[in-house]
Amino acid sequence: MGIKLFKTKGIVLRTVKYGETSLVVTMFTELFGIQSYLVNGVRKATKKGSGKANLFQPAALLDLVVYHQENKHLHRLKEFHWDHLYEGIFSDVTKNAIALYMIELLTKCLRQPEENTPLFQFTEDCLLALDQSDPSVRANMALFFSLHLAYFFGISPRVITDGEPYYFDLKESVIDSSMPTHPLVAEGKAVEYCMELLSARHPSELKEIKMNQEARRQVLQIMEQYYQLHIQDFTGLKTLPVLRAILQ
């Protein structure tokens, strides 16, 4: 198949400088999944103002016209502009830290360049909700994303208990009342919060989930370990220490 033009939306995952003025941008696209694009000349200033490199910040939501060819690893962009210009994600320290955590987690889970429209829409919805969130929703947004993202990779935890005590068997992806015989288990109040977060269907519901800073840290730690167990070659999250430090 030859090169064809397509319109798609994309979420910027990471950028790498290329040459003196260009970028190689990895994006999660609505049509093609994870893809890399060579974007020429965006790091040089022009007579009209600065270059357009600021569009390619991690978590940016863009409208794209792309040149695409099957089985090619590096593509090119014909057009790109904001799909949505955030009000807070690039300027608010807490929202930015949460967004960067979400993007890193997503990037570590994505493997094959294949279409996954439901996952794209879920990620887009979470970023837009984060951008508009008040403190009560914002505080739980990273946790909500961590637990619900697992569904799209076939590793969503199953809740099969309706009574205490609660044990989260990280190996078998089950929350129930029986203590597993292996040590890969979480227990206590943090597991109850995991269940509450799993039952939330939309970020707006997060304001009803009340937990303190330490509980949030525990849930984030549980989920990092969970992904390490279930996603091949999943390494520690570099954004997690920053996120744990700023979440109230």
Tokens of residue 114, six digits: 């294949």
Q: CA-to-CA distance for 10 and 153, rounded, in angstroms?
A: 19
Q: Which region among 42-56, 105-119, 191-205, 208-222 has the lowest average model confidence (pLDDT)?
A: 42-56
Tokens of residue 112, six digits: 């094959």
Superfamily of domain 1-85: Nucleic acid-binding proteins (2.40.50.140)
51 band by pLDDT with thresholds 50, 70 and 90: low
* Domain boundaries for CATH 1.20.1440.120 within the chain: 93-248
* Domain boundaries for CATH 2.40.50.140 within the chain: 1-85
49 band by pLDDT with thresholds 50, 70 and 90: very low
Read off the pTM: 0.93
Instruction: Count the helix, strand and coil residues of the chain and give each as a percent rounded to the nearest 5.
Output: 40, 25, 35
pLDDT mean over 142-159: 96
The SS3 assignment for 42 reads: coil
Is 3.40.50.300 the CATH classification of the domain at 93-248?
Answer: no
Tokens of residue 235, six digits: 């390494």
